[in-house]
Amino acid sequence: MNDSTRWQGFALRPGDIVISAPSKCGTTWMQMICALLIFRTPALPGPLTSLSPWLDMCLRPVDEVSGTLAAQRHRRFIKTHTPLDGLPWRSDVTYLVVGRDPRDVAVSMNHHRRNLDAEVIHRLLPGSGRAASRPPGDRERVLQWFQDSLPGLVHHLGQAWERRDDPAVLLAHHADLTRDLDGEMRRIADRLGIAVPEREWPALVAAAGFDAMRSRAGELAPDEQLGLFTSNEAFFRSGRSGQWRDLLTDDDQAAYDMAVRALAAPGCVDWLHHGSTIRS
């Protein structure tokens, strides 16, 4: 459902925020954080997918999405699953890249695919064909994700980690957001040059919490108002980390560790698994 060529010819503006993350790393969470910081109220002026369109998503015509973005007068925050090397580059744009432990991504993606309405997607993308068959068990599907998708995720996040000193690049991590949402939102606001009065922070942080977002699934889930999910609430499944420990054997974990360390430098691997090493 993702086509990076849709970025070609798109006109970025000074101050734009491009939220770039692999699927299931916390894209929607970061969109909500940016929305709260930009509008400075939990009462958003529209559905999150309308405020922060997904430009490279193929289910809507690119002219329609580009037109929506061109008409926006607030500071734009644009969703993408395209890595930095596929995006137009401007030094006056902030590229906000969100990382997550790949093992947690694999587990989350397994549940996410169960929640997608295949018939709706096939109707909207009639040339896409039916989804390939998947292994029957949760462990086997996670292992298949490692084989098929781990290299792409590490490429996406690894190149952002390598550019972590670029003033236009801002890294965030799912683990850091979980540990200290208030502190991370303040750090992000500071990097984006957004001033928030102290009295407004408690309500904004509360609105970005997992339970609060799940309670507003109808306006926050990225279903594009197209009915992509069998349940919008199920999109916000748990937000927890470490569930892969209940699935992977010691041999599975050893094989994963060897694979991820072959794809990224040690410092990047440490950040992928734990966050907290980038505090810029």
Give a yes or no: residue 233 inside a domain: yes
State residue 246's pLDDT score: 87
Q: Taking the CB of residue 167, how many other CB atoms lie within 10 A of it? A: 10
C-alpha–C-alpha distance, residues 46 and 55, integer Å: 17
Those residues whose C-beta lies under 8 Å from the C-beta of residue 167, and which sit 6 or more positions away, are 91
Q: Give me the number of domains the chain comprises.
A: 1
- Contact 80/27 with Cβ under 8 angstroms? no
| Inside any domain, residue 279 | no
Domain span at residue 196 reads 4-274
Cα–Cα distance measured from residue 146 to residue 259, given in angstroms and rounded to the nearest whole number: 9
Residue 242 domain flag? yes
Rounded to 5°, the CA angle 211-234-223 comes to: 105
Residue type, 158: G
Q: What is the pLDDT of residue 37?
A: 99
Domain-located, residue 56: yes
Backbone dihedral angles phi then psi of residue 34, each to the nearest 5 degrees: -65, -40
Would you say the C-alpha torsion 121, 20, 152, 65 has a positive or negative sign? positive
* The predicted structure's pLDDT at residue 2: 83
Residue-level pLDDT, tens digit, the chain, 280 residues: 789 999 998 999 999 999 999 999 999 999 999 999 999 999 999 999 999 999 998 888 899 999 999 999 999 999 999 999 999 999 999 999 999 999 999 998 876 566 555 666 666 676 655 555 666 688 998 999 899 999 999 999 999 999 999 999 999 999 999 999 999 999 999 999 999 999 999 999 999 999 999 899 888 877 666 767 666 665 666 667 778 888 899 999 999 999 999 999 999 999 999 998 554 4
Residue 114 belongs to a domain? yes
In a domain, 267, yes or no: yes
280 part of a folded domain: no
- CATH classification of the domain holding 42: 3.40.50.300
| pLDDT reported for residue 280 | 45
Q: Round to whole Å and give the CA distance between 250 and 234.
A: 30
Q: Are 172 and 24 in contact (CB under 8 A)?
A: no
Question: Which residues are catalytic, by number?
Answer: 81
pLDDT at residue 99 in the model? 97
In a domain, 36, yes or no: yes
Side-chain half-sphere CA neighbours of 128 within 13 A: 17
With a threshold of 0.85, does the pTM exceed it?
yes
Query: According to the model, what pLDDT value does residue 126 have?
Result: 63
Q: Residue 156 has what pLDDT?
A: 98
Q: Which two tokens stand for residue 141?
A: 């599907």
State residue 101's pLDDT score. 95
